[in-house]
């Protein structure tokens, strides 16, 4: 009979790669949500003149703007429609993604 902690250590060793793989899947998922914004806000969040760039915008600002669009608090031509397609949790992840990109 092995001591109890052997099983804990073994279980942890088995579960760790699963946790890492799912973190990678999350990162890919967020990147693909953000890719939907590239059509208008530019590749990697750097837009053509006339359209706001998202890269490097503070995370809180991005989150607030998107939640305001979603709630209808911020008048817009189309962002109020787009923002409604995402859950609040998705909006926070998308905001973190763009905040971490380099503005150019």
Instruction: Please tell me whether residue 37 binds ligand HEC under the rule CB under 6 A.
Output: yes
Among 55, 65, 70, 99, binds ligand HEC (CB under 6 A): 65
Q: In the complex, what is the shortest distance from the CB of residue 33 to ligand HEC, in angstroms, rounded to a whole number?
A: 6
Q: In the complex, what is the shortest distance from the CB of residue 102 to ligand HEC, in angstroms, rounded to a whole number?
A: 17
CA–CA separation, 19 vs 39, rounded Å? 32
Count of residues engaged in binding ligand HEC, rule: CB under 6 A: 16
Nearer to ligand HEC, 9 or 76 (CB): 76
Compute φ and ψ for 84, nearest 5 degrees.
-70, -15
Q: In the complex, what is the shortest distance from the CB of residue 25 to ligand HEC, in angstroms, rounded to a whole number?
A: 19
Q: Which residues bind ligand HEC (CB under 6 A)?
A: 36-37, 39-41, 52, 54, 62, 65-66, 76-79, 82, 94
């Amino acid at each position: 009979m092995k001591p109890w902690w052997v099983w804990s250590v073994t279980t942890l060793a088995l579960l760790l790669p699963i946790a890492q793989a799912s973190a990678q899947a999350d990162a890919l998922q967020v990147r693909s949500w953000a890719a939907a914004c590239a059509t208008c806000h530019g590749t990697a969040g750097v837009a053509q003149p006339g359209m706001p760039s998202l890269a490097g915008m503070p995370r809180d600002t991005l989150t607030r703007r998107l939640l305001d669009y979603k709630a209808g608090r911020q008048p817009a031509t189309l962002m109020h429609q787009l923002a409604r397609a995402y859950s609040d949790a998705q909006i926070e992840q998308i905001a973190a993604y763009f905040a971490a990109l380099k503005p150019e």
